[in-house]
Structure 1
Amino acid sequence: MTLEDGKKLDGASAMHAVVTSKYKVLIIDKAERNREAILPDGKTGWSTQYSLTNNTFRTLKLTSDTFCSAGAFLANGTLVETAGGDGMGLTGEGYRKIRLFTPCEDASCTWNEIPDTMLNARWYNTMTTLPDGNVFIIGGSTRSVAINSKIVNNPTFEIYPRSREQIPLQFLIDTLPNNLYPQVHVLPDREDTMFLFANKKSILYNYETRETIAFLPDIPGPPRSYPLTGTSVLLPLSYRNNYKPEILICGGSPKTDSKAPAANSCGRIDLSKDKPVWDMDDFGGIGRVMPDSVILPNAQIVFINGAKKGFAGYVKAKGTRFVNSDPVFTPVLYDPAKEKSDRWTTLAPSKIARMYHSTATLIYDGSIFVAGSNPQPDFNPNSLFPTEYRAEKFYPPYFTSSTPRLTITSLLGEDTLSYSGVPIKIKYDQTLTVTTKTSDPEPEIFASIIHFGFVTHSTNMGQRFVELNVVGIKPTRNENEITIKVESPPNAYVIAPGPSYLFLMNKGRVCDEAVHVSLG
C-alpha cells in the first residue's frame, strides 16, 4: 500500500517493460545518449535486464532503434519485439525490425536481431499472442509522427512467424487520426475473434476469416488512443460466469492541447450480450491521460501513472514547454465485482512524476514494478521532468493483511522453491496439484493464472487474468502443509499458450511467490 523511495536504478528508462522470467524485467528505451547504461565497448545501450531480487541491471546490446515499439510472447516463451524509430543518428532504424529475446535468469540471454523483417514499416504498433502461439502485429504508421495521417498510416496486420502477408484492415482507416497503439484483446468465448479499439471506435473481428463480426457503439467522451492516450483492460475472466468477456477503457484527452483536462471517465462493455453498450463511470475521481492498468491476483485493477492534463508527447519550443506537466501521483483501485458506486478506492501516492513513457507491471510477489517517464527528445537530467531512471515497487492493500501467507512448495510434483528460470509446463483442462505451507488451520483459497503482458504507452499487450476452479483442499502428513487441487484453463482462447504465473490467495492475501508456468 506504500511506494518505496525509488532509489533503485534500472539503467535505461522504462519506455517499455516486460517480465521475461520470474525475477527479471526486460527494460527497453529508445536510442538516445543515455549516460546510465554503458556497454563494455563504451557505447550507449538502451535496453537492460533488470534483477528484481538485488536491484541491479545488465546492459544489452541493440543495433536498431526500439523507439515506440511493441512485443508479445511466442508459445515457446520467446519474446518477439518489433518496430521502432529512425535511430536518432546513433544506430540503425527500427521501423521494420524484428527482435527476439529468449529469457534467462542469469547473464546468458541477449537480443537476437534477425535478418527477417516485417513487410512494412510500423511505428506505434500493437502485438498480442494468438491461441495458436503465433503473434498478431497490427497498425502503426510508416514513419515517426506525432499524430497519424492517411499519408503514413499502415492499416494492416500480419501474423508472425506464421505468414508473410499484410492483411488490410478498414478499421484502421476509419479511426484516423487517433489510432496508434490500438487496443487488442482476443476473446475467450468466440473462436478466432478479437476486440479491436482505437480512437472512440471498436469492432469484433475474426482474424482468420478477415471479417468484421460486429460494429460496436462509439465510447462516449473524448478519443482514448495515442496521443490522446487512455488505457484498456480485459476484465478478469472466471469459470463462474463461463469466462464472460468485459472490456474497461479509462482516461484519455479531448485534444492535443497542453492545458486540456484529462478525461475523468471510464467505459465498460459486456461483449457477451447480443447488443453490447458502454456503461459509463468516472475514473476514481481523477482525470487521467497516459494511465497504466495492472490486474492484481485478487481480480482487482490498479490504475497508476499519468497526467491530469495535456496529451502524450515530447517537450516543445526547444525543450521549454511540456505537452503534459501536471502528474497524477495517486493510484486508484477498481473492483469490477462491486456495485458501480463502490468500485473505486484511492491508494497511497508516489513522489515521482510518471507521465509520458512510464510503465507498470505486476511481478512475482504480487507487487507492481513501476518505472520510466521520459518526456525528453534526448537525455536531459536537468529538466523540470527529467528522463527517469528510478524504479519503484507499489504494494497493493493486501500486503497489510495479517492473514498468514501461503508458500507454494510444489506444482505437479515439481519443486517451486529451487527456481532455475525454467517455467513448469502445464496443460489446458488439467487438474493441478499444488502443495503449500501455511499456519492457517482453515484456509480459504482463491487461485488464478496471470499473463503479465508487454507494457508501453499505457498499452499492456496481452495482459490476462483467469480465475481457476479450486476443487479440493486437504492436509498432508506434514505439519502446516496442504495440497490444493485446481483446474487449469480449458483452452487457448481463454488464455494464450506460453509464459504466465500461478497465484494463490488465502483469505485475500497473495502467496509469497507465484509459480512461473508455461501453458500449452
Structure 2
Amino acid sequence: MGRIYVEAQKEGAAYETGTQDNYRVRGLTGADARNTYGIAEKLALDKKDFQGIRDAYEFDPVAEKYIKVDPMKEARWYPTLTTLSDGKILSVSGLDDIGQLVPGKNEVYDPETKEWEYTDEVRQFPTYPALFLMQNGKIFYSGSNAGYGPDDVGRDPGVWDVETNKFKKIPGLSDAKLMETSNTVLLPPAQDETYMVIGGGGVGESPRSSEKTRIVDLKADDPAFVDGPPLDKGTRYPQASILPNDEVLISGGSEDYRGRGDSNILEARIYDTEKNELRRVADPLVGRNYHSGSILLPDGRVMFFGSDSLFADKANTKPGTFEQRIEIYTPPYLYGDEEQPDLSGGPQTIKRGGSGTFTSRDAASVKKVRLIRPSATTHVTDVDQRSIALDFTTDGDKVTVTVPKNKNLVQSGWYMLFVTDGDGTPSKAQWVQVP
C-alpha cells in the first residue's frame, strides 16, 4: 500500500468531488484490475500541496553538525516544538505526508533515549500555535497561529496540562476570529507571566486584520484577556522584540494577506510595559510581512529581515520576490549623552539558583539585570524569547547576579545578560549558559 498525491486536471469548483472515492488504476488487466485500486479523499479547493516528513535531528553546536535521531511518529510540515518541564520536547500540529493537518496526534521526544512517543490524548491545533511553558509546568496557548487548520478547531486560547490533557479556556479575547498571523510575546519580566497578543487576521487568505492588542495576566485568580493600546491599522505579521529595558519593539506587518494590495505597514512602536502605552518611533524603510522576523542583538539593537509578499504591485498583477535587505534598528536608549554601561568578565556558566560576579565600572548605577533568551523566530512565532529579572548586588566595580531556581522559568541554554542603568540604557550583553 502506498500514499500518492493527486490533483484534478483543471482548477475550480466544478472539479471538486465532495466525496471520498475509489479509483481504478489504468493499464491493469484481469485479477490485477479487480484487486488493485486507490481510495482518495475528496478533491477540494483547500491547499494540500505540501508534504511533511518524519525526520528529526539534534544540532551539535560544538561540531556544528546535525545528528539524525529517531524519526517522529507523524510526518509534519510546520510542526511546533515546545520544551516541557522535564526537558522533553513536545511536537504538535503540522501537515502530514499528503498535506493534510495532523489530527491532534501529538508526540514527545526524550533527549535521553533519543526516541519519540505519542502523548496519551489527542489535542488539535492549527499550524504554528504559540505555545509557552508556564512556571507551573503547564502550557499556555495564546490562540496565535500562522496558518493551516479549520477555523473552528483548536483556536481557543487557554492553559493546557499535557499530562492530563485538561484544557482551561481563557475568556475575553477580542477579535477572536482574527488571530491567524498574530504575534504573542511574553512581556518582561517573565516572572510576571503576562502576555500580549498583537494584531492578526482572518483564517487563510482573508483580507481582514485586527488593530487590537490584548493582554492577559496568568497569575490572576481568574485570568482573562483585556484590550491593550490599539495599533494604528489592522496588522497581520507584526514583529515584536523584547528590549533589555523591559520595553517591547513592535514593527512592520501588513493589512492584507502577505502584503496584498501594497498593504505593508511602514510603522514601528515601542510598548511601555509600566505605562501600558504605545509610542511611535522611527519608521522602518522596508515592508515586512510573511516570512519576516526580528531579533534582539547583543549590543541592544534589533535586526529585521525577510518578507515574502504575494505580489510586487498594488494591482496584484506582478509576482512578489523574497526580501533580502536587512535593517538594523537603534532604540532611543542608545542615543543618550552617556555611553552604555560597562560589563565584562564573569562566568560563562551559571546554574539555576547559582550566582556569578561580573565587572562594571558603572556598577553603582545599575538598576536592573536581565537574562534574555535569544530569539528563534519564524512565521510570526517566537516562543523562545523571554526576559528574566535577576536579583543582584553591587560592591565597588563588581555586580553579582543570581539566577532563579525554577527550571520552567529559566530553561537550559544560552542567554544574553544585560545590566541597565537608571536611564534605561543597557550594557552590551555577556553570553551566559544555564546548564
Aligned to 2:280: 346
> What SS is found at the alignment partner of 2:333?
helix
Aligned to 1:464: 386
Cα displacement string for residues 258-298 of structure 1 (whole angstroms, at most 9, x for unaligned residues): 643x2010111111122111111243323210112111111
> What SS is found at the alignment partner of 1:425?
coil
- Normalising by structure 2, what TM-score? 0.77
The residue type equivalent to 1:161 in the other structure is D
Q: CA deviation at 1:403?
A: 2.6
The residue type equivalent to 1:215 in the other structure is K
- Report matched runs for 1:58-457 at 5 Å: 95-103=53-61, 109-110=64-65, 112=66, 114=68, 116-143=70-97, 152-162=101-111, 163-167=115-119, 170-172=122-124, 179-188=126-135, 190=136, 192-198=137-143, 200-207=155-162, 209-212=163-166, 214-217=168-171, 219-225=173-179, 228-237=180-189, 243-256=191-204, 259-260=207-208, 262-308=209-255, 310-312=256-258, 323=260, 325-338=262-275, 340=276, 343-375=277-309, 385-412=320-347, 424-438=348-362, 442-457=364-379
Return closer, same or farther for 1:324/1:258 CA change in 2, 3 Å cut-off. farther
Q: Say what the alpha-carbon RMSD is for the aligned residues.
A: 2.7
Q: CA deviation at 1:485?
A: 1.9
Cα displacement string for residues 155-203 of structure 1 (whole angstroms, at most 9, x for unaligned residues): 132222345212265542xx6xxx2211111112x1x211023365122
The residue type equivalent to 2:395 in the other structure is K
Structure 1 window deviating more from structure 2 (399-408 vs 457-466): it is 399-408
Does the 8 Å CA contact 2:213/2:231 hold for their aligned counterparts? no
- The answer for unaligned runs of 5 or more in structure 2 is 1-47, 145-154, 312-316
Does the 8 Å CA contact 1:333/1:347 hold for their aligned counterparts? yes
Does the 8 Å CA contact 1:138/1:156 hold for their aligned counterparts? yes
The residue type equivalent to 1:100 in the other structure is E
Cα displacement string for residues 315-357 of structure 1 (whole angstroms, at most 9, x for unaligned residues): xxxxxxx64631111111111221x4xx101111122111111
1:514 aligns with 2:429: yes
Larger Rg: 2
> What SS is found at the alignment partner of 2:395?
strand
Does the 8 Å CA contact 1:224/1:231 hold for their aligned counterparts? no
Q: CA deviation at 1:435?
A: 0.8
CA distance in 2, matches of 1:133, 1:425: 19
CA distance in 2, matches of 1:284, 1:372: 22
The aligned length equals 370
Return closer, same or farther for 1:130/1:372 CA change in 2, 3 Å cut-off. same
Q: CA deviation at 1:124?
A: 2.3
Q: 2:412 aligns with which of 471, 477, 497?
A: 497
Q: CA deviation at 1:255?
A: 5.0
CA distance in 1, matches of 2:280, 2:142: 27
Does the 8 Å CA contact 1:353/1:385 hold for their aligned counterparts? no
CA distance in 2, matches of 1:356, 1:213: 30
The residue type equivalent to 2:422 in the other structure is K
Q: CA deviation at 1:444?
A: 3.3
The residue type equivalent to 1:367 in the other structure is R
- Tell me which protein shows more strand as a share of its residues: 1
CA distance in 1, matches of 2:69, 2:129: 27
Percentage of pairs with the same residue: 22
Does the 8 Å CA contact 1:141/1:154 hold for their aligned counterparts? no
CA distance in 2, matches of 1:436, 1:462: 28
The residue type equivalent to 1:336 in the other structure is T
CA distance in 2, matches of 1:169, 1:347: 46
> What SS is found at the alignment partner of 1:398?
helix
CA distance in 2, matches of 1:433, 1:100: 32
The residue type equivalent to 2:158 in the other structure is I
The residue type equivalent to 1:360 in the other structure is S
The residue type equivalent to 1:325 in the other structure is D
